[in-house]
């Protein structure tokens, strides 16, 4: 049947303002007899998150005001959709870099004819440089900010909604839950406020009281908003209900089903990162549509989301995709459309194990050549070509902190020229090279407690990072005093302020904890605050058993799961890198010291040691770790009883499954020095399959 094109007002506006960054992939059509219009498909995408936000903004022909938030971190912008869709704005939400106005933003504001810009967050979020650039263009700038993310959300709510009978409350640390509810809150004029996990912030309670609301709807399960928060609200006289699922995608599915949306359009965005859905939530709110958060791969759709799609796919009149193919793949877009193949069977229930990921994860490898240029070259030689199929970030440890002099130098006599060559070697293979500096104990405590020395460290390390051409910096300070928590966070804020404008990565390695009340000797790490001033947080999910402990697995799966489960509630999962050990240990009881001692070894030496001593390698399994950890026992030449634990491809693989289970950024392997020509064929293909 021959078809002809018709153009609705909506499509006319899309065509009028569409740029190459936002491509219309199909048009609404009617059949020749004037039958019902077929659905049309629009993908809003730019080369970066900032470009995608600009592409989404093209859907507005004009606006008197816009909302502007930082694009590299989420807290201050989560409540911004309600403001953008409010009578005070009725315009798009744009994104900018923190310290400078991103190119294209001014041009888009001018196209819209907007005269007012609402900045979200304090100067640490959107700097005065950005405000000044806007004012220089004759724009009125209004900043909405509080002393933290909770107070900022409260300030946005007061500006957006004068009075309401209902408030939505989401975790200030779980991005996806706030994004799921954002279109509803923006469309209905309902304030979206944020809370701590265990308690209700004072600023949030004040905003609820000021709103006049009688009902507070919690978004997300008890792992992100604890029953204690609900109890506080109930005690204050509020009716409290909850919309929740076992993870971000199931919570999103619950929002889709339980709230009153116009389901004639489906708006799809990745559930893995925040910017596309953040800007797109305002687009969805304009038409009272929800946002469907998509997993990494079609096979990972949960049963409720599949049921939602199957019930509405054929009746929807429009399909909007937010972000490029790296965010929502062509395969995912094709599946969501009504022309897609039949739906796959429902995914396994939560808790029955992860499903394969289709999203590229970060592969960070600690590149420990110990300041020997030849060693770095040798270790890279074990990685197949192209390197970027297996490694994204190389982290060499050739910085040293000299506590007595209070300065940072290159260790072991390494020259600046040699360090520059090592960095260039990694970069020539396509990786980013981010050196780390390690320190521990009283020497670092003294550094952290002295603001002058901290400032000198930031200056020295930043200058040295620039001098050798590195792509960023990682801090690995361990075994610190509890009193250094605030100082460590301040130090990382200073590094982030210096490195982020240079386009360099700021990273920190942190020790493991399994809950807020255990491993209190690691309390110097404020995971939440550190995640705000680091691009990635690397949790050292190993050394459950260590050099002088009794024998046991270095990183048993059940324990690693507990570590990741807890820290992913404190740190956005998309910033969290799980440390993976490439080494094992061989313990014996020392009669002279009356204590356990051990030596570390890699996979190859472990197998050789077992073979040389006629030891049988068995696997220590549990009900929740059926793969188990390889272990063996033997008697050495001195007559000492030895017990060894190590990892192999199977146990590494079981730990790598946790990356998908918790939707983490990726893994950090400690370290490449344990990998040789024998173990490399086991490890690198495994990383390629699991992370790519």
Does the structure show a pLDDT above 50 at 186?
Answer: yes
What does the pLDDT average to over 567-595? 94
Evaluate whether residue 367 is within a structural domain.
yes
Average pLDDT score over the chain:
86
User: Is the pTM value of this prediction over 0.85?
Assistant: no
Evaluate whether residue 209 is within a structural domain.
no
Does the structure show a pLDDT above 60 at 350?
Answer: no
Residues in the chain: 692
Contact between 478 and 443 under an 8 Å Cβ cutoff? The reply is: no
Say if residue 403 is in the same domain as residue 510: yes
Whole-number pLDDT of residue 96: 93
More reliable by pLDDT, 431 or 9: 431
CA distance 76 to 314: 37
**What residue has token string 């094109």?**
5
**What residue has token string 């009746």?**
315
Evaluate whether residue 232 is within a structural domain.
no
Which domain range does residue 582 map to? 362-691
pLDDT in tens, 275-311: 778 888 999 998 899 999 998 777 778 888 888 888 8
Whole-number pLDDT of residue 13: 30
Contact between 73 and 533 under an 8 Å Cβ cutoff? The reply is: no
Say if residue 295 is in the same domain as residue 381: no
Say if residue 381 is in the same domain as residue 468: yes
**What residue has token string 């009669």?**
591
pLDDT in tens, 389-447: 899 999 999 888 766 555 778 888 889 999 999 999 998 888 899 999 988 888 888 88
How wide is the angle at C-alpha 52 spanned by C-alphas 47 and 56, nearest 5°?
150
CA distance 181 to 366: 39
Contact between 276 and 327 under an 8 Å Cβ cutoff? The reply is: yes
Say if residue 517 is in the same domain as residue 426: yes
Does the structure show a pLDDT above 90 at 385?
Answer: no
Instruction: List the CATH number of the domain containing 649.
Output: 3.20.20.80
Say if residue 329 is in the same domain as residue 413: no
Q: Dump the DSSP string for 275-304.
A: HHHHHHHHHHHHTT--EEEE-SSGGG--HH
pLDDT in tens, 175-184: 788 889 999 9
Residue at which a domain ends, from 336, 351, 379? 336
Say if residue 654 is in the same domain as residue 562: yes
Question: Could you tell me which residues are beta bridge partners of residue 242?
Answer: 218
Contact between 609 and 599 under an 8 Å Cβ cutoff? The reply is: no
Give the 3-state secondary structure of residue 393.
strand
Say if residue 541 is in the same domain as residue 597: yes
Contact between 644 and 632 under an 8 Å Cβ cutoff? The reply is: yes
Q: Which two tokens stand for residue 264?
A: 């004639």
Does the structure show a pLDDT above 80 at 351?
Answer: no
Evaluate whether residue 685 is within a structural domain.
yes
Evaluate whether residue 194 is within a structural domain.
no
Whole-number pLDDT of residue 580: 97
**Residues in CB range of 279: below 8 A, 6 or more apart:** 52, 53, 56, 57, 92, 93, 94, 95, 322
pLDDT in tens, 618-655: 999 988 899 999 999 999 999 999 999 999 999 999 99
Evaluate whether residue 319 is within a structural domain.
yes
> Nearest Cα to 665, choosing from 564, 566, 532?
564
Say if residue 649 is in the same domain as residue 611: yes
Q: Provide the phi-psi class of 580: left if phi over 0, else alpha when psi is between -120 and 50, else beta.
A: beta
Distance between start and end Cα atoms, the chain: 43
Give the 3-state secondary structure of residue 154.
helix
Count CB-CB contacts under 10 A for residue 506.
22
Confidence of residue 61 (pLDDT cuts 50, 70, 90): very high
Say if residue 472 is in the same domain as residue 550: yes
Say if residue 331 is in the same domain as residue 366: no
What does the pLDDT average to over 27-33? 38
Contact between 645 and 629 under an 8 Å Cβ cutoff? The reply is: yes
Beta strand 40-44 with 22-26: parallel, antiparallel or unpaired? antiparallel
CA distance 396 to 602: 19
Exposed, middle or buried by CB within 10 Å (0-12, 13-18, 19+), for 45?
Answer: buried
Q: Which two tokens stand for residue 383?
A: 């990685």
Contact between 56 and 14 under an 8 Å Cβ cutoff? The reply is: no
Contact between 401 and 448 under an 8 Å Cβ cutoff? The reply is: no
Does the structure show a pLDDT above 60 at 206?
Answer: yes
Evaluate whether residue 201 is within a structural domain.
no
Does the structure show a pLDDT above 70 at 238?
Answer: yes
Say if residue 328 is in the same domain as residue 417: no
Confidence of residue 55 (pLDDT cuts 50, 70, 90): very high
Whole-number pLDDT of residue 404: 56
CA distance 529 to 509: 14
Evaluate whether residue 526 is within a structural domain.
yes
Confidence of residue 542 (pLDDT cuts 50, 70, 90): very high
What CA–CA distances, in Å, run from 643 to 127, 309, 579?
56, 53, 24
The domain tally of the chain equals 2
CA distance 411 to 324: 43
Give the 3-state secondary structure of residue 410.
strand
Say if residue 305 is in the same domain as residue 453: no
């Amino acid at each position: 049947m021959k078809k002809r094109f018709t153009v609705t007002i909506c499509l006319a506006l899309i065509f009028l303002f569409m740029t190459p960054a936002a491509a219309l992939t199909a048009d609404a059509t009617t059949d020749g007899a004037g039958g019902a219009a077929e659905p049309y498909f629009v993908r809003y995408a730019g080369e970066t998150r900032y470009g995608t936000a600009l592409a989404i903004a093209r859907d507005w022909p004009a606006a008197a005001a816009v909302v502007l938030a930082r694009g590299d971190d989420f807290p201050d912008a989560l409540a911004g959709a309600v403001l953008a869709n409010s009578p005070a704005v009725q315009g798009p939400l744009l994104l900018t870099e923190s310290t400078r106005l991103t190119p294209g933003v001014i041009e888009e504001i001018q196209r819209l004819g907007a005269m007012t810009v609402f900045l979200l967050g304090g100067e640490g979020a959107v700097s005065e440089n950005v405000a000044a650039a806007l004012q220089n263009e004759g724009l009125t700038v209004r900043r909405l900010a509080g002393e933290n993310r909770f107070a900022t959300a409260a300030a946005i709510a007061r500006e957006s909604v004068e009075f309401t009978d209902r408030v939505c409350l989401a975790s200030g640390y779980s991005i996806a839950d706030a994004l799921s509810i954002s279109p509803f809150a923006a469309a209905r004029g309902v304030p979206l406020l944020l809370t701590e996990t265990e308690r209700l912030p004072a600023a949030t309670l004040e905003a609820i009281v000021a709103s006049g609301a009688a009902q507070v709807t919690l978004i997300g399960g008890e792992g992100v908003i604890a029953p204690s928060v609900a109890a506080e609200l109930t005690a204050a006289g509020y009716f409290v209900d909850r919309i929740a699922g076992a993870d971000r995608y199931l919570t999103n599915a619950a929002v889709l089903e339980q709230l009153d949306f116009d389901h004639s359009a489906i708006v799809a965005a990745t559930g893995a990162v925040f910017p596309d859905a953040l800007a797109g939530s305002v687009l969805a709110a304009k038409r009272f549509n929800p946002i469907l958060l998509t997993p990494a791969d079609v096979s990972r759709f949960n049963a409720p989301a599949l049921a939602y799609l199957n019930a509405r796919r054929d009746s929807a009149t429009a399909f909007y995709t937010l972000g490029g193919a790296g965010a929502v793949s062509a395969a995912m877009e094709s599946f969501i459309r009504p022309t897609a193949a039949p739906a796959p069977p429902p995914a396994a229930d939560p808790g029955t194990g992860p499903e394969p990921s289709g999203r590229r994860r970060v592969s960070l490898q600690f590149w420990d050549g110990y300041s020997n240029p030849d060693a770095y070259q040798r270790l890279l030689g074990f990685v197949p070509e192209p390197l970027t199929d297996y490694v994204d970030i190389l982290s060499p440890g050739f910085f040293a902190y000299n506590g007595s002099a209070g300065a940072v130098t290159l260790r072991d006599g390494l020259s600046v020229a040699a360090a520059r060559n090592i960095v260039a070697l990694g970069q020539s293979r396509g990786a980013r090279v981010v050196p780390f500096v390690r320190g521990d104990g009283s020497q670092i405590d003294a550094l952290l407690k002295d603001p002058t020395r901290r400032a000198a460290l930031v200056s020295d390390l930043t200058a040295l990072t620039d001098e050798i051409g590195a792509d960023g910096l990682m801090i690995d300070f361990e075994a610190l005093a509890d009193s250094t928590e605030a100082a460590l966070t301040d130090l990382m804020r200073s590094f982030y302020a210096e490195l982020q404008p240079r386009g360099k990565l700021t990273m920190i390695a942190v020790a493991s904890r399994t809950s807020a009340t255990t491993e209190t000797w690691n309390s110097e790490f404020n995971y939440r605050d550190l995640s705000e001033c680091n691009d990635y947080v690397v949790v050292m999910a190993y050394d459950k058993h260590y050099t002088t402990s009794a024998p046991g697995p270095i990183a048993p799966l059940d324990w690693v799961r507990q570590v990741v489960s807890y820290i992913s509630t404190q740190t956005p999962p998309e910033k969290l890198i799980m440390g993976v050990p490439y080494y094992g240990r061989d313990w014996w009881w020392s009669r002279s010291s009356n204590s356990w001692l051990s030596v570390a070894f890699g996979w190859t030496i472990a197998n050789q040691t077992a073979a040389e001593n006629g030891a049988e390698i068995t696997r220590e399994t549990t009900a929740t770790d059926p793969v188990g950890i390889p272990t063996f026992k033997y008697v050495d030449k001195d007559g000492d009883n030895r017990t060894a634990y190590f990892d192999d491809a199977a146990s590494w693989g079981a730990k790598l499954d946790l990356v998908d289970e918790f939707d983490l950024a990726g893994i950090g392997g400690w370290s490449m020095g344990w990998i040789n020509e024998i173990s490399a064929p086991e490890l690198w293909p495994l990383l390629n399959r699991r992370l790519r």
